[in-house]
Chains A and B, each alone.
Chain A
């Protein structure tokens, strides 16, 4: 099985409002796949369909070789992990008791609790009531909960939205490690840096359709003008096309010691998104 997911012509209409029009993509086994799109573009809706929480209006979905008819079975549910956009925990119970519940529901060994707490950097909060945690700490407990049964495929709906940079970096390392161990990761995010750094491939979702799909660096190359941006010591900014006949001009600039900096044009994913859809990705 090469594909972890196969989505064809997915469409979802909520009483007359079309949330997604026609979405198709495959996610390969073992990859980190990012679904990017502005607020309201249908990212959460797509995840809900892929995890069996919502029924699509039309289109075909296959996840881990399971047909949508089997999405409600314990067999399927125990092979996927979900961090949804507004999941929550039992406030009065401790972090440990919350994770213990899910360990038992997913039939995972209880030793996993401490392993996961270490993983999300929360060992010290083990016996604290969830109501006493900060938003970022809760988010990390939710992440531990999503991963506690070692799923083959995880869905992460904006997993780092409430976290500070230190914890984001920590979580990113954890996700990369998880991925190296073979877990397929499907992630939605607004954070372009996160997508560029983590994802093997990203899909841009807008107007209910996938507008572009590819490896982040390949996309940056594809949408690059390939020009050089040169800044000189007398504060001039030059844009020089990457053409043979411009070689002498660049050589001259360097030879005369005028170059302060020189960069090739490489748009960020956010700039590419803006270029394709005319929308900011925030």
Chain B
């Protein structure tokens, strides 16, 4: 790790992000959604599950999606090769990009939650939950970005991430009944755990989300080993 090189990657990727229309649309999506929701509710308190849908949309559509798109573009346009031949390590490159994604995610999420009602998130427990959830989605994005060879292919990968992990609370709308296996399984998913946390104030959900994050980190590590060892 080398701070100057990480800084150089960060600066480059932030500038590039700002000039990329496709990427710029991503952080705007959850903000638009929040504006819509906050209008619909007319003054009533917005349910926690609704807030977490916004969180899920932000982390899947901004965090995972822009991370994998940025990495896939470096692969597709062969610019990654130039970076790899430079003194920057692969870690420097990933950290530089992650910081850009973290910044954009934070701005997008903060605006969205201000619009919807940020109070439920103003506790240490909720913030730790959000940070772990962010890392979970970031690792998924990096892992997929490692093997996505083109920008076009990322849209196929982003769908399952969004529907499984981003929109999990929407399973309620499917009217499956309390006892359905799908609902039971979904309850173990990270966002559902965090929603439960707000009801129970228990720290167990944080532990479960931490496990998911470790799992995602492992997935990233496996992708890294697979992609970086065969030339």
Residues of A near any B CB (own CB < 8 A): 51, 53-55, 74, 77-78, 82, 84, 86-93, 97, 100-102, 104-107, 145
Contact = CB atoms under 8 A, between A and B. Distances in A.
B16 A84 contact: no
B226 interface: no
Contact of B81 (A74, A78, A84): A84
B15 A87 contact: no
B85 A54 contact: no
A84 B79 contact: no
Contacts of B2: 74
A106 B85 contact: no
B177 interface: no
Contact of A87 (B4, B82, B88): B82
Given A104-B7, A105-B5, A97 B15 contact: yes
B78 A77 contact: no
B12 interface: yes
Contacts of A84: 81-82, 85
Contact of A107 (B9, B16, B83, B87): B87
Given A86-B78, A90-B12, A106 B19 contact: no
A88 B77 contact: yes
A105 B78 contact: no
B110 interface: no
Nearest to B2: A74
A30 B9 CA distance: 33
15 contacts: A53-B231, A54-B231, A74-B89, A78-B87, A84-B82, A88-B77, A90-B12, A90-B77, A92-B16, A97-B12, A101-B9, A105-B9, A105-B87, A105-B88, A107-B4
Contacts of A100: 8, 11
B contact residues, range: 20 to 34
B179 to A, nearest CB: 52
Given A82-B85, A93-B16, A105-B87, 16 more contacts: A74-B89, A77-B87, A87-B78, A88-B78, A88-B82, A89-B82, A90-B12, A90-B16, A90-B79, A92-B19, A93-B12, A93-B15, A101-B8, A102-B86, A105-B8, A105-B88
Contacts, number: 67
Interface centre among B2, B7, B12, B16 (most CB of A within 10 A): B12
Contacts of B180: none
A90 B9 CA distance: 12
B5 A87 contact: no
B20 interface: yes
A153 B88 CA distance: 19
3 nearest CB pairs, A to B: A104-B8, A74-B87, A92-B19
A77 B79 CA distance: 17
Nearest to A72: B89
Interface in B1-27: 2, 4-5, 7-9, 11-12, 15-16, 19-20
Nearest to A55: B231
A282 to B, nearest CB: 25
A101 B87 contact: no
Contacts of A78: 87
Interface string B65-94: 000000000000111011111111100000
Contacts of B8: 100-101, 104-105
Contacts of B4: 104, 107
Given A55-B231, A88-B77, A91-B77, A105 B83 contact: yes
A48 to B, nearest CB: 9
A101 B20 CA distance: 18
A145 B82 contact: yes
Contacts of A90: 12, 16, 77, 79
Contacts of B88: 105
B49 to A, nearest CB: 39
A90 B85 CA distance: 16
A51 B85 contact: yes
Nearest to B5: A105
Contacts of A74: 2, 87, 89
Interface string B85-117: 111110000000000000000000000000000
A102 B2 CA distance: 14
A176 B20 CA distance: 39
Given A92-B16, A104-B7, A104-B8, A53 B85 contact: yes
A54 B231 CA distance: 7
